[in-house]
Amino acid sequence: MRVVIQRVSEASVKIDNKTKDKINSGLLIFLGIEESDTEEDIYWLCGKIVRLRIFNDKNRVMNLSVKEIEGDVMLISQFTLHASTKKGNRPSYIKAAKPNIAIPLYEKFIKHLEMGLGKPVQTGKFGAMMDVSLVNDGPVTIIIDSRNRE
């Protein structure tokens, strides 16, 4: 699993020109799922996200987690995070999990993230064409891949 995490002051997602969800200060997370991903990837990655200290403390040092600031979280599925651009100019998405594998993992990811945060996670819609808007706070953007564990 691969995530792109952005610290935001606000974010929203629209589907068919209608706002599905929006958040204030917190994290906007784009999630890509590979065919080989498992529930172990979910547990590790959700734990890392919940504890990731990228919010400022009173001294303006990134020392607080989204849970500690009681921030909002929005999760958006994005298979293009597993694009391979090794050959040619047209990306290949062969590593991205097919919906029959990805959807159950995506739903488990949401549930596990909500358990870790102790609050609901806002989402887009798996497989839908979405318009995502955000105001990146910082800017702060972190990329984590459960294969690398770094």
List, by residue number, the catalytic residues: 80
Q: Do the beta carbons of residue 136 and residue 7 sit within 8 Å?
A: yes
Angle at 128 between CA 126 and CA 131, to 5 degrees: 110
Q: Do the beta carbons of residue 71 and residue 52 sit within 8 Å?
A: no
Q: Among candidates 92, 106, 124, which has minimal Cα distance to 21?
A: 124
- How distant, in Å, are the alpha carbons of 49, 57, 88, 116, 124 from that of 76? 14, 27, 28, 18, 5
